[in-house]
Structure 1
């Protein structure tokens, strides 16, 4: 059985077109012709969907209204919502991302772009579910851990560290998602010196995985490590992530530039800020970031 997607659009033609494209790619789809019908489906089986594709402008419950309902639900908050609209203005894109949309597609979009965005969202949901399952194991004892330090250099090691550290939080699956995004950035863009533009190009050429392996085997870059420190006090849980790269102009990625919001990657910082942590602070040249969760607020 393929991954399930909920498609929400008040235009039957759009629903049929997306259904055909996505089913041909191996996805199982469920259709909803308005926000009210979609909300009923989500309340009953929302966690079975890998992503929800929402039309922004619909009568009654709009795409934004449905998105806000999802984000207010503990069960649905992390289901990736892909907002679609004919409006491509920067302000509209920022509004969607600020409301919690995971991706933003402007109509008309290409088949390749649709499939790339849906695939990325499905990977994000699988990762969230994976961390949620891991976090349920021995979580109680680890929440008494007040400090910890780790260092590692590849993504497999990063997953193990992330799943362990997240268990120190009252909401481990929430923290794990953003923590892993920040660590991935530290490895790929920090230690391995992959620029945003390079990753876009390599993904389009289907050379991304081989390039990562090549750089990890490089005698200079491949020896670099990422350092993660966790510290807890009465008010907050803080994760400090440091890489051995040259840093980056982090100010430009705090809210993500509108052009990057329409591509298939580049939202790690935004995900961490909007979905996982109460505060995100980059230090110095950008190779150190402190992610904070306030315990009193939870």
Structure 2
């Protein structure tokens, strides 16, 4: 979510000097902060650092490296408005860009007016920041996740995009790691009731995916879910997260105080929980150990 008063950021990946100059001119007139990258590889790193709301990228034909960039942006930051540009008007190429996650298409060569219209369409697509809406004290999200741990990272990326876009980079990294750790624990150790020693043994024999699938097919666990609630508290300037599973719980108390002692075989990933507590000191579980909560101060 955008901080009140902050400008939106445009990332350009445009090798054509004339098109880049026109884009910079149009972006400046719309109060967009502009960052540039020379190629898709550098652009992907810039996406992580600058968190741009809008991206204009060449498709870099014939290699189509731009398509891979668009796919990665759509996966990591699905709310980003991405404009694909190239000198071809071949319909298959345009459709490939849209399917990859592009929200608009800009043929080259182009004019300043056409670039400006594309930027206007992108700006209109962006969500209005909740801080700009008077009267809202709190905004809540509720996400229900199944029992496939391979889906957790994508769910966390979406949740981060919705709730934590204005956090400093270091805090974002801590939050992302904590959410992945706690949600994976809730799925594997909570809802699927996989004990730590079972996971360790399955990983050592390259059978962990088989173990996951067997538990997911088991009628005792097949219908279980993990519920993640995120609350954006405008009045107190904090983010609140709660992650609940449908397992039997566990003895969580010693995980948050045990220091460097080894994990008990019945514990969740204790080291990860301990590290999450270091990042967010108010992290705690309910009495049964089936729900963990913590909060994040907003800048």
TM-score, normalising length from structure 2? Answer: 0.49
Larger Rg: 2
